[in-house]
Structure formats: structure tokens, C-alpha cells
Amino acid sequence: MNDFINKVSQKIGKLSDEQLERLITALQAENDTLSSVLESLSTGLVIVDDTWHLLQMNKAAERCLPLKARATRQSQEQKGEGQPVWALVDDHFIAEFLRSCATEQKSNASEEFSIAKDDKVCFFSIAVMPLVERRRKDDSESRETRIVGSIITVDDITEKRQQEILLHRMESLASLTSLAASVAHEIKNPLGAISIHIQLLQKVVKKSRAGDGMLPPPKFMEEYLDVINGEIEDLNKIVVDFLFAVRPVQATMELVEPDALIEKIVSFFRPEFESKCVNVELHLCKSAPRLLIDEKLFREAIVNLAQNALAAIQERFPPQTAALQERSGCTSYRRGELVLESFIKNDDYVLTVADNGCGMDSKTAARIFEPYYTTKTTGTGLGLTTVYKIIKEFRGGIDVKSVPGHGTVFTIKLPVPQKNTQLLEDKSKSAGV
């Protein structure tokens, strides 16, 4: 059809009125067909000119993109005549992505975004590619190509991301076998103690009835009953902790800037650490991409690791001793140190949480994430288990390295969202077109 139009356009002055009418009708039909195809696409398409002003937008793009003015597409396109396309988008991150593509002249780029809609989070992949026009050279069969604008594609990948999260949760259920075995072991001891004391009570009551019928002194009975009640409370605590350990993490996944969030978290607990003679240092990469995480759960994980570090530091450097040395003007004593560092490695966002506390031996470090395992006299032993669950919910990994008497380093690796669209390099520029 394009070749036909090109040939006809060269002889437009020789066509009769009837031929012109048929030509216009054919062009209108083809235009209607192309418009129908454009509107039927599930992928959102936004067409902009070389100055990034809006030329065309289909319905799928209207549904996906958060636009500042909820109006008809025609009015959107009219408003786009005086301002670039990113000025029409009511989302800071998407607008900045489009602006950077325009200012840095990126012809092939893609990125994922999350948008809150109607109390739920939706995920979109937005890609930018060049809009190429091919024209026949004057009096020649050859064609020349040139970039006349950009095509912005918007794909809704919410269902895909939710399926990935669901699949990951189902895989996590496989670890419940070992957890159930641990709980069975924990329950066995209290049940044994309850059984023994009930048997003792039954034996005493039976003996008293066979004799003078007098029951034992109240104190004697209460001691047994107190033991039984205590064991029942322990059982209840074990069951509650077990339910907490196996309950799926209710994560609301969003694309979040991790370094900015870590700075907020550290500013929250830094005063407490400084008051206990512990220095807190941050070495963040500052250029980390946004990660698919739950902000509240990520905060819980970091604070939990920090509190464990504080306990280890205080065990090695008792706060009373450090405070006395500080008041006496002594500056030679070693303060506690907590260092958080982030960097990008192999498509992963890596965060290390290091302290110079008492450290752990290899056997303890190997079991540190197990439910109910703790080296403290108090605590449930579920703190680091919770951290492990949260990081796994983010499709990441966490490991620990520790040296007794020197300190511990926790390393968290979180996947950087992959670009959903693999684009080919634009070779027209390198060819001098």
C-alpha cells in the first residue's frame, strides 16, 4: 500500500476527481484499520515527536499511565502541544525517566515502575525506542531513514510480579518440615514435665483416699500445680512463636530507593547507639536503582540486625566501662562500631551490616537463622529468623561471616529489577543517518 501511495503521490496532479475520491477513501480505510489495531493492543503506546511533544496515545496507555488531567485523549494531545510528555505524567519517577531519556538522547531504554492504584500496587515496564521514518529519495529507488521522534511502550506486568511472589511463597513452605521438627522437640519437654507432675498428684490423691481421706497440705498441691501452669504457659508461647514463624510475610512490594530508606532508618536508631558509645557509619553507593521491596519490612530487618549488633558490641565492650573511660577523658579505649555499606555487584544490590562485637564461632553462625536458636539468656530466637524470611520474601539472600572476638558481617543481596524489554542498539546514528 505504501508503494502504491508513493507512486500515486508523484502523479497526483494528473488524477481526476473520481480517482482522487477513490484514493482518499482508500487512505481513510487504511487509516481506520491502523487506528483499530492501535486501540486493540494490550500494550500502551505513546508516540512523541523529536521534541518529545505528544502526537498520539492509545487507550491502553491511558489506563496504565497516571496522567495529571483525567480528560479525553484529544484534549490530552492538545495540551501536549505546548509541553513535553513528561509534564503530563503524574508520577515523579516515570516523569524523570522520560525527561532523562530526552535530555540524554537515549534511543533505547527501559525501566520498571510501581504505582499505587485503588489500595493496591501495580507494576509497569516502560520502554523508549526511536520512531524511524523511511522516505524515498528524489528520483531514486533507494530510501533514507531518519529518527523523527520516539515510541514509548507501557506494559502492565502486575500479574507477572504477583505470580512470582506467590511462587516464591509456595517454595518457602517446603522449609516447614524442619521447622515442625524443631517445634515438636520444643513441645516434648514441657509435655513430659506436665505428665510427671499430674501423675504425682494422682498418686498422692489416691493414697490419701485409701488412708484417712485427708488431702495433702495446700502448699504441697500448689507447688505441683504451679509447675504445671508454668509448663502450660511455655507450651502456649511455643505455639504462638511457631504460628508467627510459619505465617507468610504480608509484604506490599513496591519499587523503593534503598539507600534513601537506609539513611532514614539509621537516623532513627543512631542516637541510641551514640549514647551507648557505638559509632554508626554509612558508606552508601548513592546510585542504587530502586528495588522491589516492602518498606516497612525492610526497616524491620535492618533494625533487627542493628539491635543484634548492639548486643554483640556491648558484650565485648561493656557500656559501663566505656562510659567511665569517656568521663575520665581517656580516648585510647575502643568504641563499638557499626558500619553499613551498599554497592552494586553482578545485577545485585549488596548491603553489608558489620560490627566489631564479640563475634560467633562457626557452629553458631551456621545455625543463627534457625527458629528458636539463640545464644542469649532472654529472647525467643526468632529475630534473625524473621530477618531471613523478609529477605527471602524479597527474592534475595542473606549470609553471615563472623570471627570470635573480632566481629560479625551480615551480607544481604537483593536482585535489581531486570529490564523487561531487551532492545537492539540503534545503528542509524553510527551509520551517519
Answer for the pair 262, 284: CB distance below 8 angstroms, yes or no. yes
For strand 407-415 and strand 397-403, is the pairing parallel, antiparallel, or unpaired? antiparallel
CA distances from 22 to 12, 18, 25, 260 (A): 12, 6, 5, 62
For strand 278-283 and strand 336-345, is the pairing parallel, antiparallel, or unpaired? parallel
Confidence (pLDDT) at 401: 93
List per-block mean pLDDT (blocks of 10 residues) for the chain, which spans 433 residues: 59 72 78 80 88 89 78 48 84 89 85 78 87 70 78 87 68 59 70 79 73 64 74 74 66 88 94 90 88 92 93 83 56 75 91 94 84 62 81 90 93 79 42 42
CA distances from 229 to 190, 207, 378 (A): 10, 23, 20
Confidence (pLDDT) at 303: 93
CB atoms within 10 A of CB 216: 13
Task: Report helix, strand or coil for 132.
Answer: strand
Angle value at C-alpha 346, between 397 and 355, nearest 5 degrees? 50
Element (DSSP H or E) covering residue 13: none
For residue 280, give the C-alpha cell. 554508626
Residue keyed to cell 503524574: 90
> Rounded to an integer, what distance in angstroms lies between the CA atom of residue 315 and that of residue 373?
18
Q: Which residues are CB-contacts of 265 (< 8 A; sequence separation ≥ 6)?
A: 299, 302, 303
User: Tell me, what DSSP letter sits at residue 54?
Assistant: E
> Rounded to an integer, what distance in angstroms lies between the CA atom of residue 142 and that of residue 139?
9
Amino acid at 239: V
Confidence (pLDDT) at 403: 92
